[in-house]
Each structure stands twice: as C-alpha cells, then as structure tokens.
Amino acid sequence: PRMLDDDAARWYAEQYGLTSQPAAPSSGTAELAAMPWSTPVGEGIELAFAVDTSLAVEQLEQLRRSQPAANLRECELEMVENEEYIQSRDGLIGAVDSSELLRQDESHMLWPLELDKAPNAKSMLFIDEITCVGCTFCTSVARNTFLMTSQVSSVDPANDYGTARVVQQGNDHPDVIKEAIATCPVDCIHYCTREELHLLEAHRALYMNELLAKFQGCSS
C-alpha cells in the first residue's frame, strides 16, 4: 500500500476543511491526527485501509431517514397494487370497454409502448359493428386487439350479432394492425382519438344493441 506523504496529507486536510492543526515538518502525523479516518494497524498511514467511511455512511443514513415514511409506504403499496392488477388484468379484457381498460392501464403505469399519448393522435381503434359482416379476418390477424363478440364476456349472448370488437388498444404491433385492417372486406375498422373512442364506446353501450337488431331485421 502507498504511504501518505506530507503533501498528500495536506491535500486531504484542505479537502475536508481540517486546517486547525499546523502542518508538521516530519511525516505529517500532526495533520493526520485531526482527520476523520481510523488509526491503521501497524506503523505509518496506509491509504488502502486507513480511510474511515463512517461519516459518509452516517450521511447516507440521515438522507434515508429524512425521506417520509409515508412516501416509502406509498411506493410499496403501489408496487403491490400494480402486481395484483397485472395478475388480474386478463380477466378485464372484453369485460370492460377498451377505453376503460386503457384508463386502468395508464393508472398502473402500463401505457402501451406502441400507442401515441397525444390527445389529438388518431391512434385508437374502433369497429363500426353495424358495417361489420363478421368475417373474423381481423381477429385472426391481430389477436391481442380484436375479438368476435361471441368471445367478449360483457356481451349478452342474446345480443350477440356475430360482429368483431376492439377489446384492447396498443397491444399489437402497428404493422400487425395494418395487416388486419387490410384484410377487412368492408372497411369497418377506424382510427380515432382517445376522446372519440370513449364517446363511441359509450354510444355503443347505450344504442348498439337496438341498432344492430333493427339493421339485421331482428326487432319485433
């Protein structure tokens, strides 16, 4: 190990603001005696193991203690809630509208990487179920985005008219979505903004069953 000479000792003293003791002309022992590091084993000051890190450790511990316990507890609870949400999320696919699922994803910091967050971005997808002919092509290509209504748990079998529906946003690669749209024979898949998606899905929940029944000649 390298020994500390007078110049090195003086430099360390200046760095730590320890100037109360005058410099000793011999080995620098007087300067080092006032410095915040432990006495080494054996003769001389050996840099390899002489520095006392207790001051830095104490400062880090003080910093840790200065963080409010409530904040630490809040972070722990968020981690638990996110883990629970991830484990139960599959059960929400098709059970809630895609806009609601996206809202819950966002609240748990799970916003899809492929999805633009700009308010006016037409990055959301919606199927016009009145136009849809139930070809199943889109559901065969982009399986994480589209399902037939017969597979959607929120659809009452009595109101299942064999159409496709968007159940998730941003869970297929954009190229896969483009391919799915290209397979549609009637162009019933449309891009929209997030606000438009919310309105369209709310309108569907209120009126789509009646409209589809009338359109397909099933109303009484």
Total residue length of the chain: 220
Per-residue pLDDT tens for 167-182?
A: 999 999 999 999 999 9
| Residue 203 confidence (pLDDT) above 70 | yes
Q: Are 166 and 151 contacting, i.e. CB atoms less than 8 angstroms apart?
A: no
Domain extents in the chain: 6-61, 91-215
What integer is the mean pLDDT of 67-75? 57
SS3 label, residue 100: helix
Q: Among the CATH numbers 3.90.1150.10, 3.40.190.10, 3.20.20.140, 3.30.70.20, which is that of 91-215?
A: 3.30.70.20
Q: Distance between CA atoms of 107 and 90, rounded to whole angstroms?
A: 16
The answer to whether the predicted template modeling score (pTM) of the entire model surpasses 0.85 is no
Question: Nearest Cα to 185, choosing from 134, 147, 146, 139?
Answer: 134
Q: Measured in whole angstroms, how far is the alpha carbon of residue 91 from the centre of its chain?
A: 20
Per-residue pLDDT tens for 77-134?
A: 666 677 888 888 999 999 999 999 999 999 988 899 889 989 899 999 999 999 999 9
**Residue 135 has which token pair?**
């070809």
